[in-house]
Amino acid sequence: MNYYLFKMFPSRKVELIESHEKYRDARSRARSLRKALTVSDNYQVKIIFAASEQAGAKLLTTEREAEPWGDD
């Protein structure tokens, strides 16, 4: 399994940037990409650990149910 870096757009569309085998490599690359972002860039840089590029994209775009608050 690899760490995948994606561009995530407000429309929930994702685009693969690259993948890394080691977390530290992925994290440092993501940090450098985030530093280079400008106001006109219309996306965020996300890291996901997944079995494949398709699985990572699915994990990022699937809406999750909010966790309940308080005592149940």
Task: State the Cα–Cα distance between residues 41 and 5, nearest whole angstrom.
Answer: 16
Q: pLDDT of 28-40, one tens digit each?
A: 999 999 999 999 9
Q: Structure pTM?
A: 0.86
Render 9-69 in DSSP notation, one character per residue: -TTS-EEEEEEESSHHHHHHHHHHHHHH--TT---EEEEEEESSHHHHHHHHHSPPPPPPP
Which of the four pLDDT bands, split at 50, 70 and 90, describes residue 65? confident
Q: What are the tokens at 24?
A: 């530290």
Amino acid 72: pLDDT = 57
Q: Would you state the structure tokens that stand for residue 57, as one six-digit string? A: 């994209």
pLDDT band at 69 (very low <50, low <70, confident <90, very high): confident
Contact present, 9 and 37 (Cβ < 8 Å): no
